[in-house]
Structure formats: structure tokens, C-alpha cells
Amino acid sequence: MTEAVFHVFRGDAKGGSLQPYKVQVEEGMVVLDAIHRIQAQDAPDLAVRWNCKAAKCGSCSAEVNGKPSLMCKTRLDALPLDQPVVVKPIRSFPVIRDLVTDVQWNYEVNKKIPPFTPKKDAPWRWMQEDIDRVQEFRKCIECFLCQNVCHVIREHGVKSGFAGPRFFVRVASVEMHPMDDLNRTALLKDEMGIGYCNITKCCTEVCPEDIHITDNAIIPLKERVVDDHYDPVRKIFRLLSGKKSS
């Protein structure tokens, strides 16, 4: 059995510091196991949010050695244990205590998205190929790692007028649904700030559900926004045909 040193953030909204803890490492352990062992042996007041320990509830998001990840999905044998393992709370949201952050902002953003709105008098029937895309988006576990790593939020603090990758995925899931009757491109452009996204794909890199956020949600939505708001040829065609954009 080997021993590893963990540097775990301890503190609250006023500030804090990394505290060193020694943990006996056993085969198959993940970072969340080590945090639980620290809680059990050294720091019973260490605050950590977790639930399923199976990478399905999205609760235990943290930054392990600087990488946004789920603690329950980060194996210790994948980390260099000859150096201290640094565990910090996700950086883009205010710390409540220790590894627990306040992600309330995300739920406020979610409220701005008009929900699934079915077409009136349409046959309530569709085929598998119509919802393959939507089903990928439904895998989201709302761990908010994509929101945390998105540099628009993380580095530039743009929370007003920007929704973040998680909510572009949510919009894509209703916008591309064959039965949905709303057009949300104006919302995406003006209120959700999809133009702030510069396609650097960090959201896709950190997604524990392997959702191709950038290629399958954000870029297709950007193209829909171009259709309705930036494409001059389509604009002229709409003017000539008398059709409205959205």
C-alpha cells in the first residue's frame, strides 16, 4: 500500500488555502475515495458535494491537478502520486465551503430558455433518426464542468449575456426536436451570447458523458443563427418572398 499527499482547498467565500493530507492508497481508488478517507480520518468538517459515486449525478465536480473533472471518475492510478494531488473547487463559481460551490447562476440561466413547445395539430409520431441528435444531448448530467472550463465564464467572467455550453446543449435538445415549434435563434444571439463562444472545444474535452458539445450542439446552433441573422442572401430571399426570419 502506498501513501499519497493530497493538497485540498479548505476555506469559504472569504478565502482559504490548500491543506496537506496523507492518504493510504489502495487499488481501484478514485479521488472521491481519498476525499472520503480524509473526511473519515483527518477532517470530518471537510465539505464535499457528492451523491452517486458512479459519474451519473454530476455532483462531485472539482479541479484535480488543475483539470476540471468528476472526482468519482478520476482514478488515482492515473495520477502521478510521487507529487501532491491538488484538489480545488471548480473555479468559475463562488465557493460556499471547501470543495462546494454555489452553482445557482446556472439554474437562473436555465429559466430563460423557452421549454419544449410542441406543434399544434401535428401527428404525435417520429422516427429514431429524428431524435438521435437530441438523445445525445439528453445524456447531460449537469455537472457544470463545461460551464466551469469555458474561458468566457472562467477567465472573462461573462455571466450576463452569456449562457455557456451546458445551456447551448439544452437549447439544441429542444431546437432540433422534430415536434418543437419554437425558433430560439434570436434568444441564442441576443440573450444567450452564442457569439462569445470561439469554438475552442474545452467544453467537449471535459464532458464526462462524451457529448460532442461543440460539433453537435454549438456549431449547428451557430449555423442556425447565421441562417436567420447573418446570411445576406437568405435575408434578401426572405425580403423578396415576404417570409419572416423567426
Partner 1 sequence: MARVAEAVASSESRATDRRDAWWLAPVSVAVGLGVLGLYLFWAAAQNGNFRFENYLSPVYSPEVHPSWWPISPAFLILLPPLFFRTTCYYYRKAYYRAFFWDPPACAVGEPHRNYTGEVKFPFILQNMHRFSFYLAAFWLIFLWYDVFEAFRFASGFGVGLGSLVILASTGTLTLYTLSCHSWRHMVGGKLDCFSCTASARSRHGVWQRVTHLNEHHQLFAWISLFAVTAADVYVRLLAMGVIHDVRLL
User: In degrees rounded to 5, what are phi and psi of residue 92?
Assistant: -80, -5
Burial 69-91 (b: 16+ CB within 10 A, else e): bbbbbbebeebebeebbbbbbbb
CA neighbor of 76 nearest in space, from 38, 25, 24, 40: 25
The terminus-to-terminus CA distance of the chain in angstroms comes to 63
- Mutual angle of helices 165-175 and 104-111, in 10-degree steps: 30
Q: Measure the CA–CA gap between 98 and 62, rounded to whole angstroms.
A: 11
Cβ distance to partner 1 smaller for residue 44 or 80: 80
Cβ distance to partner 1 smaller for residue 67 or 97: 67
Burial class (CB in 10 A: 0-12, 13-18, 19+), 212: middle
Rounded least distance, CB 78 to partner 1, Å: 11
In three-state secondary structure terms, 104 is helix
Rounded least distance, CB 179 to partner 1, Å: 8
Q: Measure the CA–CA gap between 127 and 133, rounded to whole angstroms.
A: 12
CA neighbor of 68 nearest in space, from 97, 96, 98, 89: 89
Cβ distance to partner 1 smaller for residue 53 or 158: 158
Rounded least distance, CB 203 to partner 1, Å: 9
Give me the residues that bind partner 1 (CB under 8 A), please. Answer: 5, 7, 17-20, 63, 65-68, 80, 83-84, 86, 88, 91, 126-127, 129-130, 149, 151-152, 154-156, 158, 175-178, 180, 193, 195-202, 205-206, 215, 219-220, 222-227, 230-231
Rounded least distance, CB 209 to partner 1, Å: 17
Cβ distance to partner 1 smaller for residue 12 or 130: 130
In three-state secondary structure terms, 19 is strand
Cβ distance to partner 1 smaller for residue 53 or 201: 201
Cβ distance to partner 1 smaller for residue 175 or 209: 175
Cβ distance to partner 1 smaller for residue 33 or 175: 175
C-beta of residue 145 within 8 angstroms of C-beta of residue 70: yes
Rounded least distance, CB 170 to partner 1, Å: 16
For residue 55, the 8-state DSSP code is S
Q: Pinpoint the alpha helices (H) of 14-127.
A: 31-41, 104-111
